[in-house]
Structure formats: structure tokens, C-alpha cells
Structure 1
Amino acid sequence: MPDVSKGTAVCNAYGARPVVMIGGFLSGLGLILASQATTLVHLYLTMGLISGTGWALVFTPTIASLMQYFSTRRSLAMGLGLTGVGLSSFAFSPFFQYLVEAYGWRGALLILGGLSLNIVASGALIRPLEPRKVVKNNESNSMSDSSVSFFSRICEYFELSLLLHRGFLTYSLAVTCFNAGYFIPYVHLVAHSRLVGFSEYQAAFVISSTGVTDIVGRVVSGWVSYLPRVRSIHLLTIWTALVSLFLLLLPLQVNYRGLLAISLAYGFSAGAMTPLVFSVVPEIVGLERMVGALGLIQLIESVGGLFGAPLSGWLRDITGAYIWSFVLASGFLMAGTIITMLLPNFFSCTDPIPDCSPKKLSRDTVTEDEIFKQVLSLDSDEITQHANTKIAETLPSQNHITDWTEGGANC
């Protein structure tokens, strides 16, 4: 799988719009070339390398741009934006099967390649909000020191300094555990349903119904996270704990109605946790380093996705049933929940100021839009302390912001 952190590095250097457009072109080009493949190596190079690189360049910059557009209802925006993933997952399997039956696998890949090229048009609609952070830093450094080392530039583009950030490392480990257990039901649920005696149609309906409640869960999660006195990190631990519980209950169902009910509950909880996994990142590292943080997290968490499903399959081969596979998935989710609770300031009732908060911008070097965006990204404590400065004057009212008590509010 192509390294998604490369996509974030290029995004830091050139902005999200051109990166997503190039990624959309590569994803479509790879599928179109794959339709003409004659050997398995051709498929590896086209679908695996070219299309995979394109998808890596599309996903993270798109998520980061969406999160930058919203300062208050970010989780709800993420939930609504990610419903497209659930809809496509629900509809893709029968749609692709129809294309294969109607046009053959070559024609199906050719059509999918044409559809993927629409990402280019979608990427053109991304509106950049500010100059690129790394480029600005390099330009300022070039005026004071003309010889910036290659290694320091790599560290800036890839945000490698986050690897020394305690909160980031803790959260990356938690998300890796989430990823290790999250995909196991999607891999084994249909096979488990068939093994316990349900028909092929019933097994397929279980996984399709799970996809529907997944979509609903994403929207509900975003709405709930906007309620007052509710922190996204607390909601994330609640949803992941529920996912762990339902994964433990899935293999214990012996009748179809019970299996369907638990599957629906699992799909809802799994969908609810998905947007929060991304929305929590700015609370930990700040908006300025969010793009690099997302790329590094997805790079690290891929280790969990790589080993989770094969390990569960190995348990199935040893035991002859999928019970311990679901128990393993439940354990991964619960381990991630416990690790999340070890984050600094987890038990605070209010969002703390990130350790990597953006530097204050001067009025001589930034635009009005940047100042406004910087003020929206500040926490209540900073706004209260600088209420008489030029930045605070850009907002007509701060009545919606609650003053922090000295030392921070604790539950």
C-alpha cells in the first residue's frame, strides 16, 4: 500500500487542491491501464502502484481540508462527509458485479477508471484557506539562512517532530489498536453467518444492513459531539467501548434475529467512531500540524490493519470457528479505548490548548482571512488573555466562548 504520509508531505508543500487533482488523475489512470493488463504483474503496477498512489494523495488532503473549513461543528461535518464512504461501500459490491456481468472485468475497470477521473473535478473545488505552512517557513528561513539542510526540510514536510510528541504517540498507538480490530467483522462476518447455518442471502443481508447503520451512526455521532459540555475524545472512547462490546456479543448469537440486531448495533457504533477518530487530531496537535499528523497516523495505524485480519484468520484455522477471531477484535478495540484514556488532560471537561498550537501571526505578515482563521482556532483561554489585541478585534463577539477557570476545569 502506498505511503499516505507522502501525500501529506506533498500537500504541505503545494496545497491540497493540486495534490487531490493529481491523485484523482492517477487513480483513474491506474484503473484504465489495468483494464488492458495481460499479466498479474501489470495489475500490481497499475491498480496497486499507480491507483494506490493516487488514492493516497486524495484521502488525507481531502479530510484535512474538510476539517480546516469548520471550527465549531467539525465532527458533524466529518460525519456528513464520510457518509459517502459508507454509501459507496454499500453500493459498490452489487454495482461492480453488475458491471462485470454486463461488460466483463476489463470493461468494468475501464468504467471505474472513468468514474475515478471525476475526483479531478472534485479536487478543483477545494478552496485553500491559507498559504502553505512549510513553504512559508522555508521562505522565511531562506531570508535569514540561505543553507537549509535537506534533512530539516524532510522533517518539516513530513512533520517528523510529532514522533516526539507524547499525546500524538499515545493516540497513534490507540488508533493502531482500533484499526487492528475494526475490519475483522467485515472480513469474517459473512463467513461466520454461513458457518453457523444461515443462508447465503441471510449472511449477505447482515453485512449490508451493517453498512446502512454505519452511515446513520456517522451523522448521529457528528451531531452529538456538538452538544455543550461534550468532548470528542470522551465520545470516541464511549463508541469504541461499545464496538468492543458488540464484537464480543456477535459470535454468541445462535438465532438470526439476534445476530442481525447485534450487527446493526455494531455498524451504528463503528460508524459513530469513524469521524471522531479524525476530529480528535486537532485537539492533540493543533490545526497547523493537522495535515502531517493525519498522514503519520494513517501510516502507523496501517500496521494494525495489516496484521489484525490475518491474525484472526489464523485463529479460525486453529480453532475451526470464528469465535476467537471476534474476541480478538474486541480485545483490540478495548485496548485502544484504555490507551486513549491515557492521553494528557483526558479527564478535563474542556479541550486543552494543544502543545503544538499555531504560532501567533503578526498583522504585517498575514492576510485578514488568516487572522480570522487563527482566532477561530484559538482556545477560550488564549482569547480571554488577548481580548484587547488586534486579533481579538476581528471577531465582533465572543459571547459563545466560555471563560476558563484558572488552571483549567477538571471533571
Structure 2
Amino acid sequence: MAPVSPSYREGGWGWAVVLACFVVEFVFFGNLKALGVLITYMKEDFGTELWVVGSIVSLHYAVQFILSPLAAALARKLSGRSLILVGGTLYGVGLVVSAFTHSVAILALALVVIAGIGVTFAVEITHAKLAFYFREKYPLAVFIALTGSPVGMMLLGPITQVLVDTYGWRGAMLLLGGVGFHLVVGGMLIRRPPISYQAVPDHEEQLTIDGINSPGKSSEEVKPNKSKISKFWNSVFSVLCLEVFVSAEFMIVATMRMLYNIGYGGVVVYIVPNGLALGLSTREASFLTTAWGVGNLVGLVLCALALHVKWISVRSAEGIAVSVVAVGFALEPFVSPFVGQILTAFVVGAGMGCAIEGILVMTRCLPFGDDKFVSVLGWQTFLSGVSASIGDTVAGWLSDATGSFHATFFLYSATMAAILLCLLVDAIRITSTGTECPSGQMVAMPLLFKKDSSTRFEGMTIQPTIQPNDNTT
């Protein structure tokens, strides 16, 4: 059997999947912001140091990056929908347990292990399902999904403060656990579209073994003495989808996302302390994250609109966005007036919103089947988590060593500017190999069966892969 080219209805039930992605983004990042509000109250209640509670919250977020490849591998073998439902349940349970415990150890177990693993099963798997429904309208779908993050952070942060003032931090955490269970609701919306196949005449059947086509021969006939160890490593290689690392296109886009996440960490961690260091009051500095969130929404809207109507190529949009962010980061430590800080935060937020939209659209263009898209996202998330951890550590050291945030924001500016080099390398690759998208560099996707270096290991599988009696994953 050989596949027909996958048919994308550009929506349909896919819009329900987009809603599920929005819910996941809203709940997770909104609750993450809420945990930031609760940190000081938890520290006082447990009678421990601030860094202890802060580390628990950081690890709660980091688990998503560490375990993403494993979650992606499980999603390819099991029901993705079931994993999301289990993950949403674990996430809600972890937050509820955190509301009742009086032990720091149990708090860490609930937030890091239970809730952390739960959200790992929900975030990337939900996003990966968009690939089964959207091709031309993928930028629009991603835009709607990504807006859940800034909306959740802007809404749940202030609401959590009101809940703390009314019910205490434990009551607020319990209600956040109820919000967390909405990941289960999002998971119920996930399902795969039906796939059709066509038969291939017997004389055209051939197998691909380690990148070599062998007509009419099975793997046992070609390699009868294949060792068990070799089979084991091949299975590991296939399950974890390690072939992505021999794709130049994947490595370029993954590097771009790694650099982006370093800059994103700068906004999350240092934008308010930098404002305070420049003389803003605590109240004034608190508006900087709001300005960034509004700018992020504006950037997502502008980029999605430009890409959807094909006013500009995705790489051009990415180049403009990261250039704006690089300049904004460079100016950040020098703009001391409140209005100037608000405008700078807004511009940086808009640029970063456009930048992540472009990176995700380019990820959708990578030459891997829809069934492998979850692994592509999983490995990207893992690598970006590693880079963000290293970047935050170096940035913190620079701040302590210099006594200011100048070097820190110059580092973030340089990482965003480095994305321009990645775009240049990608342009050279396209020019030299002639692997440009069929309709140019516009949003129209490249041929999904296009060959690249990953074919050294296997041919493109039937796309998307559908498991027997499982139309809901």
C-alpha cells in the first residue's frame, strides 16, 4: 500500500483542536503566572527560604522541556488523546494536592512530578494535532492557539491576587487546580481526521532499509544476520525519532528556537527588576509585563495576518521581528522614563510574538510526516529548555558580576541577532540545494514528501499513520 497525498480540509474539526490548544496555553501559562504570585505566600506559610519555593516552581516549568521527547514518543505509540486526558487529570490533581499539603517535600512532589508530568503530556501533543488539519491556514491556527498564553498570564495573575486576598493562598491554589482540570476538557476535543489510502501494483512495491531501496526484498532477506543489539538500537532510534537530528532544516529551525527561548527568559525574569533598577516604582514596574503581554498579542495578530494573506514571506517576517527585538533589548537598560519603558516592553513583546509565530510556521514546513510532527516539537522543546537554562544562568552571573543589567540585556540582544545568522544559513542552504517551497518563500508549505537527509535512515512513512480501530488520537 502507498499513500495518497494527505488531504487538508483547512479547518472543520480542526478549529475545535485550535480551541483545545488555546485552552492548554491559557491554563498552563496563566497558572504559571499565578504560581509566581503565590510564591511569597507559600514561602511564609512553609517557613522556608524563597529560593526553595522558587526552585520548585521553576522545576515545575522545566519538567515540560525535559520530558517532551518521551511524551512525543508515547504519543506516537499510544493514543494521543488518552495521554492528554491523563495529563490534564494529573495536572489538576497536582495543584489540588499542593493546596492541602504542609510539607515542602510533598509540595515538590505534587508540583514537579505529578503536575509537571501531567502538563508535559498535554502541551506539545495538543499542538502537534494541528498538523493533521491545517496547511495553508496553519499560521492562523497557530496564532489563535498562542494567544492563550498572554491572555492567561494577563488574566490569571491579577485574579489570583484577588483570590489570595479573599480565600488565602491555599484557597487560591485549590481554585487554580480546578482551572487545571480544564486541560481534560481540551483533551476531549482532540481527534484525528479520517485518512484514505490507495493500492499500489505489486511490481511497484519496495522497501526502504537504512535509506536504500530494495525492490521485492524484505529486511530479513537483505540483512539475515542482523544482531539483536542492532535491532534494539534501531527501535530506539525509530521510537524517539532521532532522525530529525540529521536534517539540516530541523537543526537550523531548532537553533532559532533555542536562541529565541534565551531571549524569552530575559523578558520573564529581568524586565521588572531592570525597571526597578532604572528608578521605577514597584507599581509602575508591574505594568511592564502587561505592556509586554499586550505587545505580544499585537505581534501575533500582525504576523498571522501578514502570513495568512501572504503579504510577506515567513523568513522575512522572522528577520524583521528578531531585528526589532534585538534593538529593543539593547535599548532596555538605557530607557529610564516610565513611558519609554512601557513602549520598549510593548515593542519587544510584539517582536517576540511575531518571532515565535514564524518559528512555528517554519517548523510546520520541515520535511517530516504529520505523525512525526509531535516528535519534532518534542525535541525542539527539549533543546530550547536546555538553552534557556544555560542562558538564564549566564545572564544572572553577568548581572551579579557587573552590578547592572546592561551586559545581561546585551546578551539577550545578541542571541536574538544570532537568529538572523540562522536565517542567512537557511537561505544559503535553499539556494545551494534548490529545496525551496513550491510556491516560493511564502507561507504555502513545501511538499510534505520532500526528501532530505533523514532519508538516510528511512523513507517517509504513510502519512499520517493511523492505528487500527483508533480514530480519536
Q: Match for 1:69 among 110, 125, 133? A: 133
Q: Paired residue for 1:247?
A: 329
Distance 1:101 1:366, change over 3 A: closer
Q: Paired residue for 2:419?
A: 336
Distance 1:287 1:89, change over 3 A: farther
The reply to whether residue 213 of structure 1 matches residue 295 of structure 2 is yes
Give the Å deviation of 1:72: 0.6
Q: TM-score, normalised by structure 1?
A: 0.80
Secondary structure of the structure 1 residue equivalent to 2:404: coil
Q: Distance in 2 between matches of 1:269 and 1:174?
A: 14
Q: Paired residue for 2:24?
A: none
Secondary structure of the structure 2 residue equivalent to 1:341: helix
The reply to whether residue 106 of structure 1 matches residue 170 of structure 2 is yes
Q: Distance in 2 between matches of 1:64 and 1:76?
A: 15
| Structure 1 contact 67–78 (Cα < 8 Å) conserved | no
| Structure 1 contact 176–300 (Cα < 8 Å) conserved | yes
Give the Å deviation of 1:123: 0.4
Give the Å deviation of 1:145: 7.3
Runs of at least 4 residues off by over 6 Å: 144-148
Distance 1:233 1:11, change over 3 A: farther
The reply to whether residue 327 of structure 1 matches residue 391 of structure 2 is no
The reply to whether residue 178 of structure 1 matches residue 260 of structure 2 is yes
Q: Match for 1:272 among 340, 345, 354? A: 354
Secondary structure of the structure 1 residue equivalent to 2:308: coil
Secondary structure of the structure 2 residue equivalent to 1:7: helix
Q: Paired residue for 1:54?
A: 118
Runs (5+) with no aligned partner, structure 2 = 1-61, 196-208, 210-217, 221-227
Distance 1:361 1:194, change over 3 A: closer
Letter in 1 for 2:134: F
Q: Deviations over 1:2-56 (max 9, x none)?
A: 3111111111112321121111011111111112222221121110111111111
Letter in 2 for 1:301: S
Q: Paired residue for 1:292?
A: 375
Q: Paired residue for 1:167?
A: 249
Q: TM-score, normalised by structure 2?
A: 0.70
Q: Paired residue for 2:387?
A: 304
| Structure 2 contact 96–177 (Cα < 8 Å) conserved | yes
Secondary structure of the structure 1 residue equivalent to 2:333: helix
Q: Deviations over 1:76-111 (max 9, x none)?
A: 110111101110111222122222222222222211
The reply to whether residue 17 of structure 1 matches residue 99 of structure 2 is no
Q: Distance in 1 between matches of 2:242 and 2:420?
A: 25
Q: Distance in 1 between matches of 2:320 and 2:75?
A: 33
| Structure 2 contact 278–333 (Cα < 8 Å) conserved | no
| Structure 1 contact 75–226 (Cα < 8 Å) conserved | yes
Give the Å deviation of 1:254: 2.6
Q: Distance in 2 between matches of 1:109 and 1:159?
A: 37
| Structure 1 contact 176–336 (Cα < 8 Å) conserved | no
Q: Distance in 2 between matches of 1:228 and 1:311?
A: 39
Q: Distance in 2 between matches of 1:310 and 1:104?
A: 33
Runs (5+) with no aligned partner, structure 1 = 132-140, 371-411
Q: Paired residue for 1:283?
A: 365
Q: Deviations over 1:367-406 (max 9, x none)?
A: 9xx9xxxxxxxxxxxxxxxxxxxxxxxxxxxxxxxxxxxx
Q: Paired residue for 1:193?
A: 275
| Structure 1 contact 68–287 (Cα < 8 Å) conserved | no
The reply to whether residue 80 of structure 1 matches residue 163 of structure 2 is no
Give the Å deviation of 1:214: 0.8
Give the Å deviation of 1:229: 6.7
Q: CA RMSD in A?
A: 2.8
Distance 1:15 1:229, change over 3 A: farther
Q: Distance in 1 between matches of 2:176 and 2:431?
A: 44
Q: Distance in 2 between matches of 1:340 and 1:53?
A: 34
Q: Distance in 2 between matches of 1:111 and 1:228?
A: 43
Q: Match for 1:96 among 160, 180, 184? A: 160
Give the Å deviation of 1:114: 1.5
